[in-house]
Each structure stands twice: as C-alpha cells, then as structure tokens.
Chains A and B, each alone.
Chain A
Amino acid sequence: MSSPPRIPAFHRDAGRFLADDARVGWHDQALWHLRAKRDKAAAATPDWEALRDHAAALKAHVLDQLPELWTRFSANARAAGWTVHFAADAAEMRATVHGLLTAAGVRRVVKSKSMLSEECGLNPHLEAHGFEVVDTDLGERIVQLRHEPPSHIVVPAIHLKRAEVGELFHRELGTPAGLDDPTALAHAARADLRRRFLAAEAGITGVNIAVAETGAMVVCTNEGNADLGTALPPLHIAVVGAEKVVPTLDDAGVLLRLLARSATGQPITSYTTHLAGPDPRRPGHACHLVVVDNGRSRLAADEHHRRALSCIRCGACLNTCPVYRRASGHAYGTVIPGPIGAVLAPAMIGTAAARALPFASSLCGSCTQVCPVRIDLHDQLLAWRRQLADEGLVPLSKRLAMRAGAWFLAHPRLFAAGGWLGRRLGFLARLPIPGPHRLWLRHRGMPDLPADSFRAQWKNRHG
C-alpha cells in the first residue's frame, strides 16, 4: 500500500526472520502474551459477544451509508471550524498535507501514529521536501530512527529486543552505552520528544473514529502523544480513511469498548480524545481533516471482500496468527501485515503484487475468532486464493501439487496404499530436506504417525 508497492517476497523475508531461532521464539511469545491479555479482557466483559455482534452490524450499516454519513459529518465538522478535504489517492493526500504545511510556513512537524499516513508514504514525501517529521509514538519513533517500517499496527517495534533499542538510543539520543532498561529508554525518548512537541509548528494525527453527529474526530493513544501533538502546535492536520465514520457518539462508544480490549487487553486506552475543530480559546488555531479513499471505494464495491473495511485496526488478528507470530510483520511487505493485511492487500495493491499473502495462513480461523467486528478473515483468505487461482496467479508448482493431490484423494485404493506406505516411511519426513522447502520444516515438527489407518481404527472400534 506504500507507493510504489513492492511485490511481497513473503517466503524470502519470513525465512530471514525465521533464521534467528531465539528471536522467533521471543516474538511468538510476546504476541501470544497480547492475545492472552485480550482473552482475559474479553472474559471480564459480560456482554462481549453481544458487543461484537452489535459492532459488526454497525459497521455493515456504515459501509452501506458512507456518502450519507460523510455528508452529515462534513456539515457538522465545518460548523465546528474544521476545513475538510477529500483525497482520491495517496498522491492527493500527500499533496494536500504538503500544501497545508507549506501555506502555513511550517517546517517542524510532530506526528502521532497513523497507519493511513504509512499507507500513503507521507513521511518519506515530507522529508524529501525538507520537512522535519518526528514520529512520537515510542514504537514508531524507534522504527523511524532505524529507517524501517513498523512491523505491527499497534506495537510497531515488537520485532526488536531491548538491547537493540538501547544501542539505537545510545547512537541517536546519547543514552549511556549498554543501557537497555525499558523504563530508562522510554523516559529518554520522552525527554527528547517533549522538546520536539514544544517546538513543533504542526501536528499530524490519524483518526480512530469520525463521528457524524458531532463533526468531531476521536483519537486513542496510551502515551498521550496525539494529545500533545494536537494541544500544543497551532496547526492540526488529521488524516482519516473513508471507512472510519460512524453515525453517533454512542456508536463510537461501542467501538471504544472493543478497541483497546482487543488490542492490548486494556479496558480502554489511557487517552481517548474527541476533538471538534479549532479551539476557540486559541487565536490562529487551524484544523484540517483529510478524508482519503486510496482504494477503499474499490474494496467497498467488491461484494466478497468489502467487510474487510470494517476493520478498526486493533491488531488482534495479528497477535493470534501462528504465521504472523513466526514470520513477523516485515515479511508481508505491506503496511498492514497479518491476516487483515493479507485480506486488504490484494484489493489495495492488486492481486499480482499481493499474490503470496493469502497463502500466508494456515486457515486455522483464529483470526476470525478474535476479530472484534467479526470480519470473516479466514473465509476471505480462502476466497482470495480462489480468485488468485482463477486469475492464473498461483505458481505452477502449487498448481501441479494441488492437481496431483486432488487426483490422489479421488482414488480411494491409491489413497489407502499411500497411507500404508506413509506409515512405514513417515520417518523420512524428519530428515533434512534440500531446497527451498526446508524452511517449511523449521520451527515445525511432523506429528507421529499412528500404527493403523483411520479406517482400520474405525473398523476395530465400531465393527
């Protein structure tokens, strides 16, 4: 979704991450820890499943009513003093933001986390034009200083160890060599970023929810960076995806009850702020809101996949995905990784560029089980596979293997003979195998094969 889109080389990049056994194990556990916290929060919320049902129905309504909701939003937002802009694609979004900063004579910008700005390549664009753009979410700041993209939509630096952050901060922020205590590192970043917040001439934020009823935006953080970035500089530019509007504040409340619990297991983010345009107490305070399409209208018109636009970016499907947890976000090569990223990518950057991603899943369905707005993620991945096959985008080796498998399974005697042979020669599968498929057996053991076939066992038990 960044521009230009690079072809996801999922296998190569996942292989690179998998080469470091210790890191894979740690990454897997760190994400599972988030999943466990989500489960605990869900269990402590008696109306959890009804809440998910309600949110899914709300999002279905929203996706059918986007023009009406944005019309209502715009009228109320303009009354509140927002200047509302509409951008067809990433280039127009970048040009709009660039133009606003130039017109205001701004050079120093603080930014809070916005997956949309990552999607549109806003930072590289502004930096190339001489703006100082500082990401202020701690994880985003870490990956910005490392000149790499986030690997997760909620915890952008989850792929890094504390020692790596310590080395980075020693080099970039002058912290003592060898300092790797997370509290000390986070407070060093706080001191550095506090200075930048106070000097910033503009703040750019994403938007978690746009509320049509109030003409206001809701932004959620745990750090307070979006609040500092909007309360201090005289210019605020908010960028929002066209799917992020809801009819009423009560509707926003439903999503707020789901978002943080699904993301980190918190009952709500530390800060949830509702902003309606410029502050009347601040002379010269200017607020702009840029509503962005960038492929969303195309996805909204796709009957099979439009539900993916319900996503509230909680990251729960990433945290639970056995493939994401072991491959890491960078392997996906897209701004949004994990199951939701693999569902969005073919629609947003095209099936050819994203052809590997719908296969980066075991189709276990865990993503669907945790999605707070009940997106049928694993069904969508399967549907994309079907479409990729129809478009001839599945590699020849996979097509031949599938054809051979179908033929084999359609011949019961052959299947039985194959099973007999497999039970005797199954140990061969534990031997190292050459070629690219050896990666398949890394971090994965073949199960023990039973002495008898399923049919034989059935016959023994039931006659």
Chain B
Amino acid sequence: MDEAAFLARFRRDGAPAPHPGRFAGHAWEASWEGFARVLAGVGGSLADAAQEPRAAVQAAIDLAGGRVVAAPAAGERLAAAGVSGWEPAGNGAPGRFADVQLGILWAELAVAENAALLFTAESLPERSLAFLAERLLVLVPAGALVGGMAEGVARAPRHGHHHTWMSGPSKTADIEQTLVIGAHGAKALVVVRW
C-alpha cells in the first residue's frame, strides 16, 4: 500500500515519549584476558600472546589441509609479513569460497564484553568468505580492543554496505538443547593479535 496511508495508521496525537538519550552504562574494562574468557565461552579461542603472530598464522595455514583464502585487509598483512600458502579472495561469484578450509579475516575492532569482532565492507568486502569457510582465523590489531559493546557500536560505520559482529564460531542448540558448533558457518574461530 501507499507509504503515506500506511504511516497514517500509526500516527498519534500528543507529545511523544522522549528519547532516553545515549545509554551511559557500565564501563567495561578493555582487557584481552576478559575478551579471551568470553570468547572461550562462545566456542572460540585466542592465540597465546607469547607465540609470534606470524608463526601462529603460518602454522595454522600449514595445518589447514586444503584451500586457504584471505580477505583483502588480512591478505595485505600476510603478504607484508611474508606468510605463504594462501590465496587472495579476488573477484567472482560469492559461492566461489564453498570449498575453503580456512578463511583468514581482518577484524577492525574487538569487544571485551561479548567477544564480538567487527568486520566492515572495508575489511571484508566479500561477506560470503566469512560464512562459507570451514574454519576462520581472525587477525585483530592489538590496539583495537574496546571494553563494552556500546563503545563498539559507537565506532561501527554509519555508511558502507554492511558490517557484521561475529562472536565465536557458528552454533546451534536446536536439537535437545545440545550445543553443536558449526551449524552453517565456521566450525572453529581462532583470534590472533596482530
């Protein structure tokens, strides 16, 4: 139906209830320990900081046992660090990642409160890689951790085609409330501080 007629159905007289403003809630600590704890709780893991990131990523690629594809923002870093054994995402139909064993992504932000990682149209132009890859390795700049989700959302882009918050691997508990990792998306998710 016509938009104006549709909206007229919801029109009300009188002053509207005021907007409550920005929520000033708990100040969450931006700690990697907290992030790691929550991430473990949602089925993911944070690579040990003692391990050199380049070596951790190379080891994961060497063990991937199949096709390894890096999103552009991750690929730039891998190339600069001399990591081998991966291919760039390139261009083409979104289904071309269906046989990818390991997807390597670059997250722009991490949130300690809920272990959410932010991917935008800049860092992940081709969304399908993040959901078709069997497993994910996510590189996060060590300085990109914020405490709370409110702060994370405040820093998320207002423009651009998409952004996704990802908290751990894909999961379901639809059969008898039993947790199963890997419902449709990644069956594992490892975060490496880069």
Contact = CB atoms under 8 A, between A and B. Distances in A.
A276 interface: yes
A270 interface: yes
Contacts of B186: 224
Nearest to B154: A250
A183 interface: yes
B174 A71 contact: no
B153 A253 contact: yes
Interface string B5-27: 01111111000111110110110
B100 interface: no
**Interface SS of B by simple majority:** loop
Contacts of B42: 266-267, 270
Interface stretch (B55-63, B74-82, B113-121): B113-121
B174 A155 contact: yes
B27 to A, nearest CB: 9
A247 B41 CA distance: 32
A223 B158 contact: no
B94 A224 contact: no
Interface in A45-97: 45-47, 50-51, 54, 57-58, 60-61, 63-67, 70-71, 74, 80, 84, 86-88, 92
Interface in B85-135: 94-95, 98, 113-116, 125-128, 130-132
A269 B167 contact: yes
Contacts of A33: 177
Residue of A70, A157, A271 ringed by the most chain B CB atoms within 10 A: A271
Nearest to B169: A270
B6 A185 contact: no
Given A67-B7, A86-B1, A198-B98, A270 B125 contact: no
Contacts of B182: 186-187, 190
Given A253-B150, A256-B153, A274 B183 contact: no
Interface string A224-251: 1101101110000000001000010110
Size band of the A side of the interface?
A: 35 or more
A223 B153 contact: no
Contacts of B127: 227, 230-231, 273, 279
Contact of A297 (B9, B128, B161, B163): B9
A460 to B, nearest CB: 49
Contact of A249 (B113, B158, B174): B158
Nearest to A29: B177
A156 interface: yes
B86 to A, nearest CB: 21
Given A51-B25, A224-B183, A268-B167, A293 B6 contact: yes
B128 A231 contact: yes
Interface string B167-178: 111111111111
Given A86-B1, A185-B175, A271-B165, A136 B25 contact: no
B185 A276 contact: no
Contacts of B170: 222-224, 270-271
Contacts of A190: 182-184
Contact of B149 (A61, A214, A257, A277): A257
A275 B162 contact: yes
B173 A264 contact: yes
A125 B8 CA distance: 28
The 5 A-B residue pairs with the shortest CB-CB distance, nearest first, are A224-B185, A253-B153, A64-B16, A267-B114, A47-B25
Interface of B: 1-3, 6-12, 16-20, 22-23, 25-26, 38, 41-42, 94-95, 98, 113-116, 125-128, 130-132, 149-150, 152-154, 156, 158-178, 180, 182-186
Given A224-B131, A250-B153, 9 more contacts: A61-B19, A142-B174, A182-B178, A198-B98, A225-B183, A228-B184, A232-B95, A272-B116, A272-B167
